[in-house]
Amino acid sequence: MLKDAKIYVAGHRGLVGSALVRALQARSYRNLILLTRQQLDLTDQQAVERFFSEQRPEFVFLAAAKVGGILANSTFPADFIRNNLQVQTNVIDAAYRHGVKKLLFLGSSCIYPRLAPQPIKEEYLLTGPLETTNEAYAIAKIAGIKMCQAYRRQYGFNAISLMPTNLYGPGDNFDLTSSHVLPALIRKFHDGKVQGASEVVVWGTGKPRREFLHVDDLADAALFLMEQYDSEEIINVGSGTDISIAELAEMVANVVGFKGKIVFDHSKPDGTPRKLLDVSKLYGLGWRPKIPLEAGIAATYRWFLENQALVRS
């Protein structure tokens, strides 16, 4: 990508999209197309068609998606599958037909089977049943991957698909009804600290293990792969290490400064027992993450404290 290349970041206000914009701007890319949902509704096929016809971006980072944690996915499965299928279909098809040079599609580690062998290799896709709590979202993301592959095979469209692990960082969603586990823990322990609570309740048993990657590391990997990777095969992006939810809760509580008791509510779902990505393919290309988990959590908490007026309730 030349520095003056016309680059469209779909979903630039979200956790991943905003990190991509930071990374692009830090590298002096100056011709970015950034549109809000009010300016361009990606579920509207005619609007997307009109945008690509008029703007003709050369490169596309498809980071727009409806995302959420276990509660949101379980409560609104129709919204998750419909909205994500609409966005992906509209953007990928219009990008191909209007001459985009390369498109980067962001999937999710939840595309893999619930009980996939660990660490999860890219070839484990579609080898077993999905986690039921986020099945609708996962199926939409799998469809996006397969669409990118199909357009490459049939039309020669240069589309690549990244599978990020659990992400966190500035711009995250801290709403307890729809957030993922790490921002939810930051919010819970912060509220507990402010309220002087004697305990904070965490969903599940604390036993599941999860891998986390700071979103600025993900953005760095995305730009690296946009330059260095041109295969239809999906590629995992992660830290290569995982931590139990119980250990994570302790770490977040320490960072936030919550001194009370951590209680696990065993009546709430755990989700997938373990989800650690095999990142040997990515590491073999020469990329490594730079932000350690505890330092990343501390930076994210600082951002939370400094931006509480912007943080979703």
Binding-site members for substrate are: 188, 203, 210, 270
User: How far apart, in whole angstroms, are the C-alpha atoms of residue 279 and residue 225?
Assistant: 13
Residue 244 pairs with which residues in a beta bridge?
Answer: 209
The pair of three-digit structure tokens given for residue 145, joined into one six-digit string = 């991957």
Residue 59: name the closest of 3, 4, 8, 2 by CA. 8
Q: How many residues does the chain have?
A: 313
The structure tokens 């823990």 sit at: 185
Active-site pick, 112, 137, 151, 301:
137
User: Can you read off the two tokens belonging to residue 113?
Assistant: 């089977």
Of residues 204, 177, 181, 200, the one with CA closest to residue 190 = 200
Assign 207 to helix, strand or coil.
Answer: coil
Q: Which residues are annotated as a binding site?
A: 11-17, 106-109, 141, 164-167, 180, 188, 203, 210, 270
Q: Where are the beta strands (DSSP E) in 28-145?
A: 32-33, 59-62, 102-106
| Catalytic status, residue 229 | no
Give me 253's structure tokens: 């509580």
Strand residues in 41-193 grouped as ranges (E)? 59-62, 102-106, 159-164, 166-168
- Amino acid occupying residue 70: I
Radius of gyration of the chain (CA): 19
Q: Which residues are annotated as a binding site for NADP(+)?
A: 11-17, 106-109, 141, 164-167, 180
What's the rounded Cα separation, in Å, for the pair 98 and 269?
Answer: 44
User: What's the CA gap between 33 and 38, in Å, rounded?
Assistant: 14
Q: Give CA–CA dist 56/179, Å, rounded.
A: 34
Catalytic residue annotation: 137
